[in-house]
């Protein structure tokens, strides 16, 4: 290949890459900015209810925690640790979303929290936003308990038992989960890279409990995002599997009649009763002739 041919080929590849990048950025801008703004214009300030409540909750609990008595009640209501019983941790998890983390700045976290919940509420609705945020938080909390229970080792999976006494609060796992889930279903690679890449860098640079939970939140959000839109198909497949396990007929098939086995199969069949031929009804003239013949014979 000549030098001019190589240059032309490089130009074609660069042009394709530029067009692909332009289409991707334009689609992502439309998905993360244009669509939410349009929905906010239609719904008004009611479309920011969850984001406002979440931000106000973090500010409220942060203000209460500045006093000794308030800090005790905040810990009792939303303090989650791995050494607590599982039922108590799950009971405190919804409140722990509004308790600020100890090692993160409050106001920066509130900004991220507001943006994540606002975008999710406008794009997904309130019910799904709450479900995704809670699911990713619980996934991180439960996996952290498994890591601490496993102990050091296990190819880097386990964590020292001392992490069981670390206070595990804050909405960061929910924020990361919402951003990752939205970037997957909206096909937003820039947001996904900023979210997932920052969590990977955090877990490598500062290998603590929060970094591990953030990675689990990202992974669970990716799985939920890939399953988005396939709920009806999964329910139908699960229903067919349960029907086959219960012994019911398969979809589109016929039920075969089982053949008799044992003594019933070798026993002779009972003789069939053959009905006698029906006697035809005779006319009055024929009955009179028979009577006359009988009297003559006598």
Tell me the pLDDT tens digit for each residue of 196-220: 777 778 777 777 788 888 888 899 9
pTM for the whole structure: 0.72
Lowest mean pLDDT among 12-16, 95-99, 289-293: 289-293
* Contact (CB, 8 A) for 121 and 47: yes
pLDDT above 90 for 132: yes
Cβ neighbours of residue 183 closer than 8 Å, sequence gap 6 or more:
189, 191, 192, 195, 225
Where does the pLDDT of residue 147 fall: very low under 50, low under 70, confident under 90, or very high at 90 and above? confident
Where does the pLDDT of residue 263 fall: very low under 50, low under 70, confident under 90, or very high at 90 and above? very low
pLDDT above 80 for 254: no
The mean pLDDT value for 151-164 works out to: 77
pLDDT above 80 for 296: no
Which carries the bigger pLDDT value, residue 153 or residue 14?
14
Return the half-sphere exposure (C-beta side, CA atoms, 13 A cut-off) of residue 271: 3
- ∠ CA 242-246-252 to the nearest 5 degrees? 70
Question: What dihedral angle (degrees, nearest 10) is formed by the CA atoms of 73, 159, 193, 184?
Answer: -70
| SS3 per residue for the chain | CCHHHHHHHHHHHHHHHHHHHHHHHHHHHHHHHHHHHHHHHHHHHHHHHHHHHHHHHHHHHHHHCCCHHHHHHHHHHHCCCCCCCHHHHHHHHHHHCCCCCCCCCHHHHHHHHHHHHHHHHHHHCHHHHHHHHHHHHHHHHHHHHHHHHHCCCCCCCCCCHHHHHCCCCCCHHHHHHHHHHHHHHCCCHHHHHHHHHHHHHHHHHCCCHHHHHHHHHHHHHHHHHHCCCCHHHHHHHHHHHHHHHCCCCCCCCCCCCCCCCCHHHHCCCCCCCCCCCCCCCCCHHHHHHHHHHHHHHC
Q: Tell me yes or no: is domain 45-228 CATH 1.10.510.10.
A: no
* Contact (CB, 8 A) for 128 and 224: no
Per residue in 65-113, pLDDT tens?
Answer: 888 888 888 888 888 888 888 898 889 888 888 887 766 666 777 888 8
Per residue in 39-63, pLDDT tens?
Answer: 889 888 888 899 999 999 888 988 8
According to the model, what pLDDT value does residue 97 have?
86
The mean pLDDT value for 21-42 works out to: 85
pLDDT above 50 for 187: yes
Which carries the bigger pLDDT value, residue 80 or residue 236?
80
Determine the Cα–Cα distance for residues 228 and 24; give it in Å rounded to an integer.
Answer: 21
Average pLDDT, the chain: 77
Per residue in 107-128, pLDDT tens?
Answer: 777 888 898 999 999 988 889 9
According to the model, what pLDDT value does residue 181 have?
93
Distances (CA, A) of 13 to 8, 16, 20: 9, 5, 10
């Amino acid at each position: 290949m000549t030098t001019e041919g190589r240059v032309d080929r490089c130009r074609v590849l660069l042009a394709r890459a530029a067009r692909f990048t332009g289409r991707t950025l334009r689609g992502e801008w439309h998905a993360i900015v244009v669509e939410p703004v349009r929905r906010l214009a239609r719904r008004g300030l009611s479309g920011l209810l969850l984001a406002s409540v979440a931000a106000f909750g973090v500010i409220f609990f942060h203000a209460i925690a500045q006093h000794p008595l308030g800090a005790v009640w905040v810990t009792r209501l939303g303090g989650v640790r791995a050494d607590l019983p599982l039922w108590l941790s799950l009971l405190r998890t919804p409140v722990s979303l509004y308790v600020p983390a100890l090692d993160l700045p409050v106001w920066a976290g509130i900004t991220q929290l507001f943006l994540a919940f606002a975008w999710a509420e406008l794009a997904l609705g309130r019910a799904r936003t709450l479900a995704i945020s809670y699911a990713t938080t619980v996934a991180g909390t439960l996996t952290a308990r498994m890591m601490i229970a496993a102990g050091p080792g296990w190819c880097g999976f386990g964590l020292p038992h001392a992490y069981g006494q670390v206070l595990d609060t804050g909405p960061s796992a929910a924020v990361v989960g919402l951003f990752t889930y939205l970037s997957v279903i909206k096909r937003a690679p820039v947001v996904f890279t900023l979210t997932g890449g920052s969590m990977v860098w955090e877990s490598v640079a500062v290998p603590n409990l929060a970094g591990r939970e953030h990675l689990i939140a990202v992974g669970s959000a990716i799985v939920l995002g890939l399953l988005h839109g396939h709920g009806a198909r999964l329910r139908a497949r699960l229903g067919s599997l349960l029907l086959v396990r219960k012994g019911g007929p398969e979809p589109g098939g016929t039920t075969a009649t089982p053949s008799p086995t044992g003594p019933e199969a070798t026993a002779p069949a009972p003789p069939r009763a053959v009905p006698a031929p029906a006697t035809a009804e005779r006319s009055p003239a024929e009955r009179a002739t028979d009577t006359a013949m009988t009297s003559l014979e006598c």
